[in-house]
Structure 1
Amino acid sequence: MASVEKLPMLQEGYEKLTAELKLLRDERPRIVDAIEEARAHGDLSENAEYHAAKERQGQVEATIADLEDKISRAHIIDPTTLSGDRIVFGATVTLLDDDDKPVRYQIVGQAEADAKRGRISYSSPLGRALIGRKVDEEVEVTVPSGDKCYLVQKIEFI
């Protein structure tokens, strides 16, 4: 039997997914009510409310299935329990860019990624390039604006 691929995430990401799942599960009865109400209006072939409610129901069910899958495969990682000299999921890294300006990122799961807050997904181009690197190693990554080069200055587990 094939093994199930775990999804690394922080506790915050796990809580975000479970909260979203709860909201969608709470929405289910309202969608069913909307479908029933639209159905009561008669001819379904030209009933926009019915078709919109059925479409929303499909979207919600697909999202619920996706969230349930992610939650079932969640592998919650606490960065404060990590250590080592290499960049791993959960590490906070300080990099020097081409202009010797320091930038700081935490390597997180897709649910927590928010570049504006300094959190990048381990599966992003930069995240993938950083995993396994050590202090003083250079990292080159191709981003939409072109190639960028970084020097790993510091690795922290906070």
Structure 2
Amino acid sequence: MSRWRPPPAKSSAYITAEGHARMKAEFDQLWRVRRPDVVKHLAAAAAEGDRSENAEYQYRKKELREIDSRLKYLTTRLQVLQIVEVKPRSDGKVFFGARVTVSDDEAEERSYRIVGPDEADAQAGQISVDAPVARALLGRTVGDVVQVRLPSGVQTLEIVGVAYQAPA
């Protein structure tokens, strides 16, 4: 059996203005604050002598690699992302950036905001536009009933409300 796995599906290149600002802030913090601090500690650890048995040196090299890897990802990703700031003309329809309130089979209401894959956070109620629930809701209006195929089975959701946040 081989270890080969198909490459992951490409994620959408959309992001909200708030998500883009957070990614830029993370990049700036890593580049201006965190990386210089790690480089300073790495140089101090390297000056101590034998690097092969120096745990501090090994740790700082690993930390620097992780920071550089994240900076490379953020640089590449920020270049291709498209900021979606336009509020749709139709308030009742679900589009990117919408806060959608749905009611499931047990009449339990949940609220989701449809955002880009880079800013998705299920705990905060923000789901990726590429997620099955978001794909099922896009283009629908209040009162529509949709069926979503999830790993746990098919779930029926009714759209109870759609709202858009005002631009910050």
Shorter-chain TM range is: 0.7 to 0.9
Match of 1:15 in 2: 21
Q: What is the correspondence of 1:77-156 to structure 2 with a 5 Å cutoff? A: 77-78=84-85, 81-84=87-90, 86-135=93-142, 136-143=144-151, 145-156=152-163
Aligned sequence identity (%): 32
Aligned residues: 152
Task: Describe the superposition over 1:73-128 as per-residue Cα deviations: whole angstroms up to 9, x where unpaired.
Answer: 2211125x213364221122221101123222110123432333332121223223
Q: TM-score, normalised by structure 2?
A: 0.78
Task: Describe the superposition over 1:35-77 as per-residue Cα deviations: whole angstroms up to 9, x where unpaired.
Answer: 2111111111111111111111100000001111221122111
Distance (whole Å) between structure 2 residues aligned to residue 102 and residue 113 of structure 1: 20
Q: TM-score, normalised by structure 1?
A: 0.82
Structure with more helix by fraction: 1
CA contact (8 A) 2:12 2:117 kept: no
Counterpart residue identity of residue 150, structure 2: T
Structure 1 unaligned blocks of 5 or more: none
Task: Describe the superposition over 1:3-50 as per-residue Cα deviations: whole angstroms up to 9, x where unpaired.
Answer: xx8621111101110111111102222222222111111111111111
Structure 2 unaligned blocks of 5 or more: 1-10
Which sits farther off after the overlay, 70-79 or 40-49?
A: 70-79
Which sits farther off after the overlay, 111-120 or 57-66?
A: 111-120
Distance (whole Å) between structure 2 residues aligned to residue 157 and residue 28 of structure 1: 37
Structure 1 residue runs of 4+, over 4 Å off?
none
CA contact (8 A) 2:137 2:146 kept: no
Distance (whole Å) between structure 1 residues aligned to residue 71 and residue 158 of structure 2: 41
CA contact (8 A) 1:86 1:133 kept: yes
Match of 1:71 in 2: 78
